[in-house]
Structure 1
Amino acid sequence: MIRRNCKNDTIILNTIEGLVPQDHEVRKLESCIDWSFIYPLVEHLYSDFGRPSIDPVVLFKMLFINIVFGIGSMRKTCKEIQVNLAYRWFLGISMDEQVPNYSTWSQNYIRRYGDSQVFEQIFDQILKQAIAYGFVDMETVFGDSTHQKANANKNKHIDEEVMIAKKIYEDELLDEINKDREKHGKKPLKANEKEELNYDEETGKLKKDVETKHIKVSKTDPESGCFHKGEKEKCFAYSHQTFCDKNGFVILSLCVPGNVHDSVSFFPAYQKLNDKYKDQIKNLCLDAGYITPAICKTIVENKQKMYAPYKRPMTKKGFFKKYEYVYDEEYDCYICPNIKILEYSITNKLGYKEYKSNPEDCKNCPFLNKCTQSRNHQKVITRHVWEEYREEVIDEIRHTPEWKELYPKRKESIERVFGDCKEHHNLRYTRLRGLQKNQHQALMIFACHNLKRMARWSWKTSSNSIIKRMFSIIFRIFKAREKRYSIWSTTLSTVWHCL
């Protein structure tokens, strides 16, 4: 057996430029974007006096190394930069130059970047570059929400009574409810009082007539929310409402506490999305959790199409489904399978119109056991005042050829984005505490996801263009030769078109 004698005292006469492989990930990141765009974004955060500061581009590149390569800890990132020539090349730090300390980034965040818009601006700038390359297609947007486990002990919490938050569409819904009630000769409902009037000035507690709920508040990170869904572990978490295009480029992300439902966090995120790209977006693909009358109405009124899956009726086994009761729009009533009428009764404060059957008709009905189990033998069906928007999404758009083409791409786009970011970019768990910090972290994670995808695509495009030009030259040479080279000419032509 031959043993190789390893020498650790070898002197290498070379440069960092020569030692970093040409196809390394950092070269792709460096080639696809001009990093000097960061300077004008942070210029107002630095003083003209005092000793020179560390280059802000170096600081943000350190953060990108941390996320892109899934290191996680800034302390560990600094240690990796000390010994990794590729990282030094990316940062522009020579071998004899000292790497910034890990605490430098945290202090800069506390003193400069924490309360600024620089993270969202960097995210937007990278997205603009991807759009300039032609990689982003805004025509169809895919939306969903994913949770990120918070840095909080799930067993350390307090029970707190809070007022139920007012929904963004509540005033509009109340107007619609009152119009419907007046139409049927009912008294209009009164609007809720202002939030500051819901507290007793003497005790400082909520009044008895105010709608409240009990929630668990973490002692470690009070801004997180208690997340519990299906078979997933019950824990404190943050939720990220995110939109992407069909190519997997994230367009927008909004961080909210983990106890906020997807259908609630959708509205502020959708508003921000429309403020930026409303003219470009024509379709939205969402999952079944977003099929609510308010969301359907909002999207349809913005002249956009909502593509959503079929949602199975939540009816007990053996009972008639709601769609088996026919709604008569002209007479505003429902007709049951026994050809009996369920007349309008009232519109409740949640926006649902109630239709009730005649108990005398139901007593001797042969379908009573499949219809209702109520003691007074009365069937009640509810219909939202905005139900026609929901029916347009479920009954009309869902059966179009466009739905069959676009909706299956949801699992290939937004679900893949979440999977990649959780597996490679530390989106599964956060070490940071506070809503603002986690919003900044999420923006940087999705910015790194976009940057890595853009870098690989642009690198592949540039490589293919070089090979294509080379084959084009060879093809011209063979084309000018005799006919005996026709086979080679045909082969090269085929390869050229494939590239």
Structure 2
Amino acid sequence: MMGHQGGVQNQLFYSFNLADHVPRTHLLGGIDRYFDLSGLREHLAPHYSHTGRPSIDPELMIRMLIVGYCFGIRSERRLCEEVHLNRAFRWFCGLGLEDAVPDHSTFSKNRHGRFRVSAALRHVFESVLRRCMDEGLVQGEGFAVDASVVKADANRASGVPGTEVIDWRHGNGPSRAVQEYLTALEQNNPTISDDDEFIATAKRISLTDPAARYTAAPGGPAFFAYSTNYLIDLHAGIIVDVEATPSHRTQEVESVLLQ
């Protein structure tokens, strides 16, 4: 006889453990066995007020960001939706079936505010690296650097030649973004009296994001971009440091010296 799914839930109370419904082979299960955020709250404590209502747990936000990284979820709004719906995600983040998921705007406020000022993500990175060292995954005998190009949020049509920026610098009124960029160059290079040569070597400068460099990908049009330069230990492919720079090969090499 054909079955029929009833539309009414007659049972009032349920005994349900999320951990029992997450396979042992799940990626997040392997991460959770070794992932330790015990020092995160102490690291962030000076950046929270001692009064007011309790904030969203920073460990919860870090774990949610790791979920997004592992499963390629780039949108914070979609990340919150996926954690709300997925049992394994909820378990990894320490959320029960009825616990509320933070609003997506919470991530933006903390990433650009408290996490940035306190270097919280760098703290998490270094704690994971220390665990890799303790487990013998980092030998320190051979290293390699690899750069990944990250497209900047800058319209390629908004760029102007570097020589034109030089003209603006000498009195023709640069935009606020360009003026801040030029000021930062002078502050970061106190031994260099004039950065005109550095700017003029750039084929184009973006008016909205002048720190990005104009680069070309094989088979595609040029665009403004940055590079994330990873220093990798060759034994097990563990990333031991990372440095973000404008997308330029010479700065990729220089970033190795900084790391």
Normalising by the residue count of structure 2, what TM-score does the alignment of the two structures yield? 0.78
Aligned to 1:253: 242
Distance 2:71 2:59 in 1: 18
Task: Output the amino acid matched with 1:56.
Answer: P
Alignment coverage as a number of residue pairs: 230
State the Cα deviation string for residues 180-233 of structure 1 (Å, max 9, x = none).
xxxxxxxxxxxxxx643x49xxxxxx6xx9994353122343321111255454
Distance 1:75 1:38 in 2: 24
Q: 2:253 aligns with which of 266, 270, 286?
A: 266
State the Cα deviation string for residues 385-429 of structure 1 (Å, max 9, x = none).
xxxxxxxxxxxxxxxxxxxxxxxxxxxxxxxxxxxxxxxxxxxxx
Aligned to 1:228: 216
Aligned to 2:17: 15
Describe the shift of the 1:253–1:110 C-alpha distance in structure 2 as closer, same or farther (beyond 3 A).
Answer: closer
Distance 2:159 2:72 in 1: 31
Distance 2:198 2:26 in 1: 60
Distance 1:211 1:222 in 2: 10
Distance 1:108 1:215 in 2: 35
Query: Contact 2:215 / 2:225 at 8 angstroms: preserved in 1?
Result: yes
Distance 2:126 2:228 in 1: 17
Query: Does residue 67 in structure 1 map to residue 55 in structure 2?
Result: no
Describe the shift of the 1:3–1:100 C-alpha distance in structure 2 as closer, same or farther (beyond 3 A).
Answer: same
Distance 2:66 2:16 in 1: 27
Aligned-partner SS, 1:82: helix
Query: Does residue 215 in structure 1 map to residue 217 in structure 2?
Result: no
Describe the shift of the 1:26–1:43 C-alpha distance in structure 2 as closer, same or farther (beyond 3 A).
Answer: same
Q: Which has the larger radius of gyration?
A: 1
Task: Output the amino acid matched with 2:67.
Answer: I
Aligned-partner SS, 1:114: helix
Task: Output the amino acid matched with 2:231.
Answer: F
Distance 1:4 1:154 in 2: 60
Shift of 1:64: 0.8
Distance 1:22 1:4 in 2: 33
Distance 1:86 1:214 in 2: 47
Aligned-partner SS, 1:35: coil
Aligned to 1:112: 114
Q: How does 1:262-411 map to 2 (within 5 A)?
A: 263-272=250-259
Task: Output the amino acid matched with 1:25.
Answer: L
Q: How does 1:488-499 map to 2 (within 5 A)?
A: none
Structure 1 spans left out of the alignment, 5+ residues: 164-193, 200-205, 273-499
Aligned to 2:37: 35
Query: Does residue 26 in structure 1 map to residue 28 in structure 2?
Result: yes
Distance 1:40 1:84 in 2: 30
Q: 1:240 aligns with which of 228, 237, 240?
A: 228
Aligned-partner SS, 2:162: strand
Shift of 1:22: 2.5
Query: Contact 2:202 / 2:214 at 8 angstroms: preserved in 1?
Result: no
Deviates more, 1:98-107 or 1:19-28: 19-28
Distance 1:219 1:211 in 2: 13
Deviates more, 1:55-64 or 1:223-232: 223-232
Distance 2:227 2:94 in 1: 36
Shift of 1:3: 6.3
Shift of 1:94: 1.3
Q: 1:57 aligns with which of 56, 59, 77?
A: 59
Runs of 4+ in 1 over 6 A off after TM superposition: none
Task: Output the amino acid matched with 1:59.
Answer: M
Normalising by the residue count of structure 1, what TM-score does the alignment of the two structures yield? 0.42
Describe the shift of the 1:91–1:127 C-alpha distance in structure 2 as closer, same or farther (beyond 3 A).
Answer: same
Q: 1:142 aligns with which of 133, 137, 144?
A: 144
Structure 2 spans left out of the alignment, 5+ residues: 167-190
Describe the shift of the 1:234–1:139 C-alpha distance in structure 2 as closer, same or farther (beyond 3 A).
Answer: same
Q: 2:98 aligns with which of 82, 96, 99?
A: 96
State the Cα deviation string for residues 112-140 of structure 1 (Å, max 9, x = none).
12233222221111011011111223211
State the Cα deviation string for residues 55-91 of structure 1 (Å, max 9, x = none).
1101111111111111111100111111111111111
Task: Output the amino acid matched with 1:267.
Answer: E
Tell me the C-alpha RMSD between the 2 structures. Answer: 2.7
